[in-house]
Amino acid sequence: MTRSLFIVDVQNDFTEGGALGVAGGDDVARRITSYLADHRGDYAVIVASRDWHDADSDNGGHFAAGEPDFVHTWPVHCVAGTPGAEYDDHFDTSAVTYHLKKGQGEPAYSLFEGATEDGRTALQLLEEHGVLDIDVVGIATDYCVRASALDAIAAGRHVRVLTDLVAGVAPDSSQAALVEIAHAGGSLATSVD
């Protein structure tokens, strides 16, 4: 088996009530948990990422000094060790085989910019396990899911985004991200396909 599931940033600050909560975030967390209950055995590797920003810096300009532009600068979110950085309560992580933290002191969108506690990157994990196919789910479709899927395609993997297991910041930019992923060679499916 050479398939991996990438679960991107299903965290409290990105779901309802969080610093950058997206509509439908809690529902996506529940649906991912349900999907894992039925499909855990389909994957050789299940990788989950979290934004894990430093509390004592602007994280390379990622945290806005004034008004955020919501493109390159953002309100403070997912600060290491805070409740906002923890996984959403509706996301059962028991099936996750590797946890990556990203954005430690710098902007980071892609799961590929993260590392495990022992310093292994997503690409190293894929190579260790011979993974060629990746399903991508999580938050937010138009930012971190997009970046993770595009990096996986650039790394020569076959990528499928499960569109019923993602939630985005805005409908138009989320749709544009999915079109971009498909144009880059990824495929779009649902969890029941």
Catalytic, out of 9, 26, 88, 135: 9
Write out pLDDT tens, residues 57-79. 888 888 888 898 888 888 889 99
Cα-trace Rg, the chain = 15
Is residue 102 annotated as a catalytic residue, yes or no?
yes
Structure-token pair, residue 114 = 């993260």
pTM: 0.95
Structure-token pair, residue 147 = 């970046």
pLDDT over threshold 70, residue 119: yes
CA distance 175 to 160: 15
CB 25 within 8 A of CB 167: yes
Catalytic, out of 88, 101, 102, 142: 102
Least reliable range by pLDDT among 22-36, 62-76, 118-132? 62-76
At residue 66, the pLDDT reads 87
Mean pLDDT of the chain: 95
Catalytic, out of 13, 78, 101, 144: 144
Sorted by sequence, the CB contacts under 8 Å of residue 125 that are 6+ apart come out as 4, 45, 47, 98, 116, 131
pLDDT over threshold 70, residue 1: no
Cα-based angle 4, 103, 24 (whole degrees, multiple of 5): 65
